[in-house]
């Protein structure tokens, strides 16, 4: 599932291409909204909220999408060949005179009133890359269940929005904690919030979605701190990476 920095970059591309432009084509290829046609209306803005994308359109409407594991939005210029996948995977087409945004394999796609956005994103905690970022609230959310593993608490978007599986491992490395440490046992837990914010801020502007990673995807490679081999395991069918020296196991 995309991390918050990837969603932020996607929103920025869509906003740059569509905002302030009048739609010349509006095509949603999902049964519930297949007859909706907003051609002629202007796109007001495209905003990220955690891992959600909110495309706001003239007339008080919002197109809500979520990429989950395989979804993607691609932006093309006039006459450019669409390369995001076969035609049967296209779920949305939003075109202006200048650009066409094509949504592929979008598992969540719905049209709602802009005033009802809280219905789909109101459950989220403070957004690490959003204007609502509040480190104090995020920390209180994380500590609400002291027995919960650090990694699980980070992934829960109700605590703070934007951390995915990659930054779970990376954040835990920065604070020198294994992801399964109960969060109530983490010394100075505010470091967790600071580290997560630092990681997403540093990576959201990196070109092409490239990231500087300390441990994720580096099993068997030397730890950038101590040189010990990075280890990998699976939790909830997702890979977790850590350094056994810098991130010692909690004492029993």
Burial degree of 3 (CB within 10 A; 0-12, 13-18, 19+): buried
Q: In the annotation, is 2 catalytic?
A: yes
Catalytic residue among 198, 238, 239, 244: 238
Tens digit of pLDDT at every position of the chain (252 positions): 689 999 999 999 999 999 999 999 999 999 999 999 999 999 999 999 999 999 999 999 999 999 988 999 999 999 999 999 999 999 999 999 999 999 999 999 999 999 999 999 999 999 999 999 999 999 999 999 999 999 999 999 999 999 999 999 999 999 999 999 999 999 999 999 999 999 999 988 776 667 889 999 999 999 999 999 999 999 878 899 999 999 998 875
pLDDT score, position 134: 97
Beta bridge partners of 73: 103
pLDDT score, position 56: 98
Give the whole-angstrom CA distance, residue 178 versus residue 175: 9
Catalytic residue among 2, 48, 126, 189: 2
pLDDT score, position 235: 81
Predicted TM-score (pTM) of the model is: 0.92
| Full DSSP string of 154-221 | HH-TTTSBS--HHHHHHHHHHTT--TTSBGGGSSSTHHHHHHHHHHHHHHTTSGGG----SSTT-TTS
Per the structure block, which two tokens stand in for 67?
Answer: 């990429």
Catalytic residue among 49, 51, 197, 211: 51
pLDDT score, position 1: 67
Q: In the annotation, is 3 catalytic?
A: yes
Query: Which residue is listed with tokens 């802009």?
Result: 114
Q: In the annotation, is 51 catalytic?
A: yes
- Asked if 127 contacts 4 with a C-beta cutoff of 8 angstroms, the reply is yes
Per the structure block, which two tokens stand in for 204?
Answer: 């959201």
Per the structure block, which two tokens stand in for 238?
Answer: 């997702």
CB atoms within 10 A of CB 118: 9
Catalytic residue among 3, 56, 168, 218: 3
Give the whole-angstrom CA distance, residue 151 versus residue 172: 7
Residues 6+ apart with CB under 8 A from 108: 64, 65, 66, 68, 71
pLDDT score, position 207: 65
Compute the 3-state secondary structure of the chain and give helix, strand, coil in percent, each to the nearest 5.
30, 25, 45
- Asked if 92 contacts 29 with a C-beta cutoff of 8 angstroms, the reply is yes
């Amino acid at each position: 599932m995309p991390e918050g920095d990837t969603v932020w970059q996607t929103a920025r591309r869509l906003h740059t291409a569509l905002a302030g432009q009048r739609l010349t084509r509006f095509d949603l290829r999902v049964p519930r909204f297949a007859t909706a046609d907003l051609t002629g209306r202007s796109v007001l803005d495209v905003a990220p909220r955690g891992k959600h994308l909110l495309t706001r359109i003239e007339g008080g409407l919002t197109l809500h999408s979520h990429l989950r594991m395989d979804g993607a939005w691609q932006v093309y210029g006039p006459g450019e060949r669409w390369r995001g996948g076969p035609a049967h995977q296209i779920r949305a087409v939003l075109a202006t005179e200048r650009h066409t945004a094509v949504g592929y394999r979008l598992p969540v796609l719905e049209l709602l009133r802009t005033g009802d956005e809280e219905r789909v994103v109101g459950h989220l905690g403070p957004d690490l890359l959003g204007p609502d970022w509040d480190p104090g609230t995020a920390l209180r959310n994380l500590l609400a269940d002291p027995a919960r593993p650090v990694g699980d608490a980070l992934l829960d978007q109700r605590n703070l929005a934007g951390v995915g599986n990659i930054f779970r491992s990376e954040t835990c490395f920065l604070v020198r904690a294994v992801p399964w440490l109960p969060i109530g046992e983490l010394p100075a837990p505010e470091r967790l919030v600071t580290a997560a914010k630092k990681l997403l801020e540093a990576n959201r502007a990196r070109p092409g979605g490239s990231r500087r990673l300390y441990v994720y995807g580096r099993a068997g490679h030397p730890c950038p701190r101590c040189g010990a081999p990075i280890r990998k395991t699976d939790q909830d069918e997702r890979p977790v990476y850590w350094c056994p020296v810098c991130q010692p196991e909690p004492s029993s």
